[in-house]
Structure 1
Amino acid sequence: MKHLTILIPNAQTGPNTLSCIIGTWHVFTSANEYWKKNGKRPAFNIEMAGISTHTDFVNGLLSVMPQANISSIKKTDLIVIPAIQGDFKKLHQENLLLVNWINEQYKKGSELASMCTGAYLLASTGLLDNKTCSIHWNAVNNFRGLFPKVIVKAEKLITDEQGIYTNGGGYSFLNLLIYLVEKYYDRQTAIYCSKIFQIDIDRQTQSDFAIFTGQKAHGDEVVKKAQEYIENNFYEKISMENLSQKFAVGRRNFDRRFIKATGNTPVEYLQRVKIESAKKALETTRKTISEVMYEVGYADVKAFREVFRKITGVSPLEYKNKYNKEMAFG
C-alpha cells in the first residue's frame, strides 16, 4: 500500500486551504472504498500531517488536528500541498520545516501535488524552477514576480512534469484529484469518483474562467502609459510601430520592456484587451458574434474566432452559450 500525505500548513491558511484538505481526504477515501468493494486492496494509506498539533482556520472557527508530525514520516509516495493565502514573501521562512521536508521527500522519490496557491509553497522549495506550473489566473503576475524561474502555464488546468503536479485556481483542485485517482488507481475508479462527486472529468483548461486585468505593478511608466492607451483605444487599428514612436522608444526596446513588465508582447496585450471586452459583451448582451467582433476592432471572422479560442479555450459561440443567461433561458 502506498502512503499519501495531506499537508496541514500552520501559517497563511485560508478557507480554501481547508477545502483542499477535506476534498483530498474525501476523494481518496472514496477511491479506496471503491477498490475494497471490488475486491482490491486500498491503494493508499491516507495521513494528514503538519508541524503542530492543530491548525486554526477561518479566524479560529474551525481547526484541524493532524494525525502525525511530518518528522515521523520517513517515506511517503504522494504529498498534497493545499492552497494557502497571505503575504507570500514570508512563505519560505514561516514554512521552512515544511519546505525542507518536501525537498527531502522528493529526493527519496515522493511525488508532489500543489493545489491553486499551494504552488507558492511548492515553488519555495526550488523544485519548480525550470518546470511548468499552473496556478489561479488571478495570482499569475504576483507569482511570476516572486518565482521568475518557474514556467507558468496559466491556461492549463493541470500540469504534470517529473513527478510534480500543479493545478489552477479555486475549486479546480477537484479536477486534479480525479486526475491523480486515474493515475494511481485506474480509469474506472476516476469515472466513479467523478460521478459520485459530480466533477467534470478530463477538463483541460481554466482559460475561459480568467478575467484579464493587465499587470501594472511593474514600475515602468512608459509601458504603463502604453497599456492605458491600448485599453482606451483597443477598438481602433493600433500600429505597434506608431505606438512605440508615440512614447519615443525604439520598437525592439519597446517590445522587450513590454514583455518584461507585463508578460505579454504589445500585440498579445492588445488581443487580450479586445477579447476581454468581447467576453463581457457576449456575457451580458444579445449582440451577435459579428456585432461584438466589429465593436472590439476585428473585421475578419476567422481571425476573431482563432484569437478568441486561443485565449479562452472555446469559440465565441460556445462562450456565449455557456455564460449568457438570456441565451440559455430564451
Structure 2
Amino acid sequence: MKNVAILVPENAVMQAIADPQYCFTAVNQFLAVSGRKPLFNVQLVGLKDEVRLNDGKYSVRPDLLLDQADATDLIFIPALFGDMAQAVNANTGFVPWIVNQYQKGTEVASLCVGAFLLASTGLLNGKKCSTHWGFTNEFREMFPEVIVQDGSIVTEESRIYSSGGANSYWNLLLHLVEKYTDRETAILASKYFAIDIDRNSQSAFAMFKGQKEHQDEAVKKIQEHIENNIEEKMTVEELAEIAAVGRRSFERRFKLATNNSILEYIQRVKVEAAKRSFETSRKNINEVMFDVGYTDTKAFRTTFKKITGLTPIEYRNKYNKMVCD
C-alpha cells in the first residue's frame, strides 16, 4: 500500500486538492474491479483541523494533521492562488516536514504553481522544474537556482515531480499512476477522465506577453519597436543602433532584462502575432507568414513549431473552427 499525502495549504486551489484525491481513489476502484488489491491510501494532510479556501466559500477538513503523517510515500503540493510570495509565506509550516519526508525517501510532486511552495523548500535548487507558463518569469525571479522547463507538462528529477499550468497536472497524475501501477491502468484512467495521456507540452496554450517588468529603458524601447513592426525583418545590429548601444552590451542587457536573446524575442513576438491571426481570421498559412515578416515557409514552420509544439496548420485547425481547408 502506498501512502499518498495531499497537502491542504492556505490559499490552495480547491480543485488541485480534489483532483488527485479523485484520481487515485478511482484507480483503487479500477484495480478492485480487475481483481487486484487497492494500492493507494489517500489522505489529506494539513496544519490545522479546518482550512477555508476561496475567500471562505469552501471548507476542507484534513484527515491528518502534519505531525500525525509520518509514513508517507508520495506528497502532492496543490496549486496555490493569488500572490505567490504571500501564498508561500502563509505555508512555511509545511516546509520542514516536506524536506524531512523527502530525506526519508518520499517522492514529492507539485501541481501547477504549487511549484512555488516546493521550490521554497530548497529541494529544487539545481534541479529542473515545470510550472504554469504564465508564472515562469516570477518563478525565476523568486527561485533563480531552479532550472525552469519552459513549456513542459511534466518534469521528473531525483524523486521530485512538477507539472505545467492548470489542467496539465492531470498528465502528471497519469504519469504517476502508470509508474505505480502499469500502462494499462493509466490508459484506463486517461479514458475515464478524458485526458490525453501523452501530451507533453503546454507551449500551444502559452501567450507571450513580453517581459517588460524591468527598468532598462533602452531595452523597453526595442521591445516596443519589435512589437510595433512585426512585418519587418530585423537584425541585432539595426536594433542596437536604434537603442544607441553597442551590440555586445545591448545583447547582454537584453538577455538580462527579458530572459530571451534578441532573436528569440523577435521570434516569440512574431509567432504570438501569427497565433492570434490563426485564431481569429480566415487567412491562409502563407498570408499569415508574410504578415509577420517571414518569406521562407520552412523557417516559419520550424520556428512556429519550436515555440508552440504544433505546426501552423495544426494550430489553426485546433483553435480556429471557422476555417475549412
With the length of structure 2 as denominator, give the TM-score of the two structures.
0.97
Instruction: Identify the residue that residue 59 of structure 1 maps to in structure 2.
Output: 55
**Count of aligned pairs:** 325
Q: Alignment partner for residue 145 of structure 1, among 135, 141, 150? A: 141
Post-superposition Cα deviations, 1:152-175, rounded to whole Å, max 9, x if no partner, equal 112111101111111111111111
Q: CA deviation at 1:91?
A: 4.2
Q: What's the % identity of the aligned pairs?
A: 50
Instruction: Identify the residue that residue 218 of structure 1 maps to in structure 2.
Output: 214
Name whichever of 190-199 and 54-63 sits farther off.
Answer: 54-63
Q: CA deviation at 1:72?
A: 0.9
1:135 and 1:272 map into 2 onto residues whose CA distance is: 19
2:139 and 2:43 map into 1 onto residues whose CA distance is: 29
Name whichever of 37-46 and 315-324 sits farther off.
Answer: 37-46
Q: CA deviation at 1:3?
A: 0.6
Instruction: Identify the residue that residue 11 of structure 2 maps to in structure 1.
Output: 12
Conserved? CA contact 1:136–1:154, under 8 Å: no
Instruction: Identify the residue that residue 130 of structure 1 maps to in structure 2.
Output: 126
Q: Alignment partner for residue 228 of structure 2, among 212, 216, 232? A: 232
Q: CA deviation at 1:88?
A: 2.2
Secondary structure of 2:283 counterpart: coil
Secondary structure of 2:79 counterpart: coil
Correspondences of 1:248-327 after superposition (within 5 Å): 248-327=244-323
Conserved? CA contact 2:11–2:53, under 8 Å: no
1:58 and 1:278 map into 2 onto residues whose CA distance is: 37
Q: CA deviation at 1:185?
A: 1.1
Q: CA deviation at 1:93?
A: 3.6
2:89 and 2:148 map into 1 onto residues whose CA distance is: 23
Secondary structure of 2:43 counterpart: strand
Conserved? CA contact 2:285–2:313, under 8 Å: yes
Q: CA deviation at 1:92?
A: 4.5
Post-superposition Cα deviations, 1:122-173, rounded to whole Å, max 9, x if no partner, equal 0100111111111111111111111111111121111011111111111111
1:86 and 1:148 map into 2 onto residues whose CA distance is: 21
Q: CA deviation at 1:325?
A: 1.7
Instruction: Identify the residue that residue 37 of structure 2 maps to in structure 1.
Output: 41
Conserved? CA contact 1:3–1:77, under 8 Å: yes
- The residue type equivalent to 2:38 in the other structure is P
- The residue type equivalent to 2:294 in the other structure is Y
**Structure 1 stretches of at least 4 aligned residues deviating more than 3 Å after TM superposition:** 90-93
Q: Alignment partner for residue 163 of structure 1, among 139, 159, 178? A: 159
1:153 and 1:261 map into 2 onto residues whose CA distance is: 19
Instruction: Identify the residue that residue 2 of structure 2 maps to in structure 1.
Output: 2
Q: CA deviation at 1:178?
A: 0.9
Conserved? CA contact 2:75–2:108, under 8 Å: yes
Q: CA deviation at 1:248?
A: 2.1
Conserved? CA contact 2:79–2:110, under 8 Å: yes
Secondary structure of 2:222 counterpart: helix
CA RMSD of aligned residues (A): 1.2
Q: Alignment partner for residue 175 of structure 2, among 156, 179, 198? A: 179
Secondary structure of 2:187 counterpart: helix
2:59 and 2:307 map into 1 onto residues whose CA distance is: 40
Q: CA deviation at 1:77?
A: 0.6
- The residue type equivalent to 2:40 in the other structure is F
Post-superposition Cα deviations, 1:95-125, rounded to whole Å, max 9, x if no partner, equal 2220111111110111111011100000100
List runs of 5+ in structure 1 lacking aligned partners: none
1:252 and 1:162 map into 2 onto residues whose CA distance is: 38
1:92 and 1:22 map into 2 onto residues whose CA distance is: 20
Give the direction of change, closer, same or farther, for the CA distance of 1:294–1:165 in structure 2 (3 Å limit): same
2:2 and 2:84 map into 1 onto residues whose CA distance is: 32
Secondary structure of 1:325 counterpart: coil
Post-superposition Cα deviations, 1:9-33, rounded to whole Å, max 9, x if no partner, equal 0x223xxx21011110111001111
1:92 and 1:64 map into 2 onto residues whose CA distance is: 19
2:48 and 2:179 map into 1 onto residues whose CA distance is: 31
